[in-house]
């Protein structure tokens, strides 16, 4: 966890609404390239129209039948995943070195924040050392993938809330054939994405060590 003297004074929580993937991806890259030692950290939350994203290690055989859903090549780690309406995506624009976190430490913060959300509603989630993300039983409820550039992160995590899970059957999720995928609604937790995002952002902020916040809407 970050210490009070290792971060900027406040964390910006930026709501983007529902937006196409490509402009948000470009904005993350631009924000990270332009930031300096004094740039405050930001968490962006967004819902995307249906899209598959294929990470740097992505292999074509994990795209089974994408059909009419576009596939975007991206510069995060990992394989292929799906984003769509009813899923909360949080992009983590963080100065990881300033926070005093290792890459593994940041992954743990992201996973712990989802596990905390689930626990608050009586659901036992867990992380797996061999496959980043959060699982309930053997089913994955949250995925994560990051890119670090000069000690600063972008990309982040996605939490399945109340969505159509069918597109996950068109891929090997995160490169794992037959991996089961679940969502909060199927776990008996009836939250709208906005409510799930509010809880998740609060957990992330706390686990990153922040107590002061700024809020913004739209891309920077």
Q: What is the mean pLDDT of the chain?
A: 94
Largest CA distance in the chain: 49
Binding residues: 76-83, 143-145, 156-158
Residue 1 has pLDDT above 70, yes or no: no
- CB 6, CB 100: distance < 8 Å: yes
Binding residues for substrate: 76-83, 143-145, 156-158
Buried residues in 162-176 as b, exposed as e (16+ CB within 10 A): bbebebbebbbbbbe
The model's confidence at residue 4, banded by pLDDT at 50, 70 and 90, is very low
Q: What is the pLDDT of residues 22-69, one digit of tens each?
A: 999 999 999 999 999 999 999 999 999 999 999 998 888 999 999 999
Q: What CATH code is assigned to 4-217?
A: 3.30.930.10
When pLDDT is averaged across residues 176-200 and rounded to a whole number, the result is 96
pLDDT given for residue 129 in this prediction: 87
Active site residues: 174
């Amino acid at each position: 966890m970050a210490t009070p003297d290792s971060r900027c004074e406040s964390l910006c929580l930026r709501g983007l609404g529902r937006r196409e993937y490509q402009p948000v991806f470009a904005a993350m890259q631009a924000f990270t390239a332009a930031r300096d030692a004094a740039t405050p950290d930001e968490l962006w939350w967004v819902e995307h129209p249906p899209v598959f994203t294929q990470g740097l290690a992505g292999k074509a055989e994990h795209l089974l039948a994408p059909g009419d859903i576009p596939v975007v090549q991206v510069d995060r780690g990992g394989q292929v995943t799906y984003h769509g309406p009813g899923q909360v995506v949080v992009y983590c624009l963080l100065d990881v070195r300033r926070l005093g976190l290792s890459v593994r430490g940041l992954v743990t913060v992201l996973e712990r924040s989802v596990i905390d959300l689930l626990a608050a509603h009586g659901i036992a989630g867990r992380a797996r050392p061999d496959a980043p993300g959060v699982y309930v039983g053997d089913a994955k409820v949250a995925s994560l993938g990051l890119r670090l550039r000069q000690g600063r992160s972008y990309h982040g995590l996605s939490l399945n809330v109340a969505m159509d899970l069918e597109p996950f059957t068109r891929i090997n999720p995160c490169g794992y054939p037959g991996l089961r995928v679940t969502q909060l609604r199927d776990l008996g937790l009836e939250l709208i994405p906005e409510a799930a995002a509010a809880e998740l952002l609060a957990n992330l902020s706390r686990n990153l060590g922040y107590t002061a916040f700024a809020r913004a809407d739209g891309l920077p």
